[in-house]
Amino acid sequence: MPNTTSNGTNQTVVIAMSGGVDSSVAAGLLLRQGYNVIGVTMQIWQESTTETKGAGCCSLGAVEDARRVAAKLDIPHYVLNFREFFADKVIDNFVSEYKRGRTPNPCVNCNRYVKFDALMTKARALGADFLATGHYARVEFDEDERRWALRRALDHDKDQTYALYHFTQEELAHTMMPLGLVTNKAETRAIAAELDLAVHNKPDSQEICFVQGGSYTDFLAQTAPETVQAGDIVDTSGKRRGAHDGVAFYTIGQRKRLNVGSPIPLYVIGIDAATNTVTVGSNDDLLADGLIADDINWVGIAGVQESRPVMVKIRYNMDAVPATLQNSANSEEVVVKFDTPQRAVTPGQSVVFYDLNGDSVLGGATIARGF
């Protein structure tokens, strides 16, 4: 019971076009399958560069790239102004989380609130049957669970399910991700070349779109100068070891920018925004047996009633590791116990639960703390 067919005649799909090769190829594949395709590009960051080479997904140059691709494919193309909404849901959260001494994931919030919430609403208003994106993931119907499932892309190196776990069942039922079935990025670029798309060799964007041309610390210093407040760096005994420029500039596991002298490498193991203190320790101090997470969203299952073995990821670029998932005494939290201690469990980042095959997303949550 897939939400896609080999022949999309009389079905309309709105495709989110970022101006990159992935969304451009996704649009071309949908056309090949016979869908009526409408391209939509979101303007979400008003300070973006006009350069097209390597520009981020929200730059003015990227909008022009998307427009040219749509013209080449001969599909309608619209530009939607989501600037205020993006600032409210993504940028404000990004700043406030760092103020709290946490490390946010803006891409997760962008997918959650902007692409698959606000943009889905726009797509339905345009009369579309589906919203499609250039993400590397698969949407399928799980007959056993009788639920829509979010599954890893065939290209595991490009898989993006870690940043997509906030789907509702209704959203999944109306979402298409054609690149989930592409075997690798080389194939994506080859398809773009076949379609004669100028973006076939455009570099992938590797940065947070709204901090182009600098670092996130520069962005925080300019956007929220109150985050630049010097404080103490202490060790696990509470002894002062140095000074920092602001807790927002540090994350768990960090070694750089630590103004401390030590015969052994020291890492950030704790951040306390209330006392404006950064705690450092050894690499062993970074290891955690498990974590507590909140802001839970279930995807492939409706929830957990008892302990369940799962595979989990606590950061984007890592292999899923075995763990046990169980309810917490607090109904708004879940407990994850790793089979093997994991390094640098980071509050504010996502923990995503997969089935034992590591293929299907069961759900995800925001890390509150490690233990």
Average of pLDDT values for 23-33? 96
Determine which one of 57, 58, 107, 110 is catalytic: 110
**287-298 vs 137-142, strand pairing mode:** unpaired
Residues 19, 37: Cα–Cα separation, whole Å: 16
Q: How far is CA 127 from CA 38, 121, 122, 134, in A?
A: 10, 10, 9, 20
pLDDT at 316: 92
* Cα–Cα distance measured from residue 117 to residue 134, given in angstroms and rounded to the nearest whole number: 16
Please tell me the distance from the alpha carbon of residue 329 to that of residue 326, in angstroms, as a whole number.
Answer: 10
What CA dihedral angle connects 289, 295, 299 and 300, to 10 degrees?
30
Confirm whether 58 is a catalytic residue.
Answer: no
**Catalytic residue (choose from 57, 58, 107, 209):** 209
Cα torsion through 106, 112, 114, 119, rounded to 10: 150
Q: Which two tokens stand for residue 153?
A: 């892309």
Percentage of the chain surpassing pLDDT 90?
73
Q: Which helix (H) or strand (E) holds 100?
A: none
Averaged pLDDT, 245-265: 88
Dihedral angle, C-alpha 346, 352, 357, 362, nearest 10 °:
160
Task: Band the pLDDT of 260: cuts 50, 70, 90.
Answer: confident
Residue 345 dihedral angles phi and psi, to the nearest 5°: -70, 120
> Which pLDDT belongs to residue 203?
81
pLDDT of residue 253: 95
- Cβ–Cβ under 8 Å, residues 13 and 128: yes
> Is pLDDT of 219 > 90?
no
Mean pLDDT over 144-162 rounds to 95
User: Which tokens go with 214?
Assistant: 């600098």
Torsion angle (degrees, nearest 10) of CA 158, 339, 267, 333: 80
- Lowest average pLDDT, out of 22-26, 148-152, 215-219, 365-369, goes to 215-219
- All domains in the chain, ordered by first residue: 12-211 (3.40.50.620), 229-282 (2.30.30.280), 286-370 (2.40.30.10)
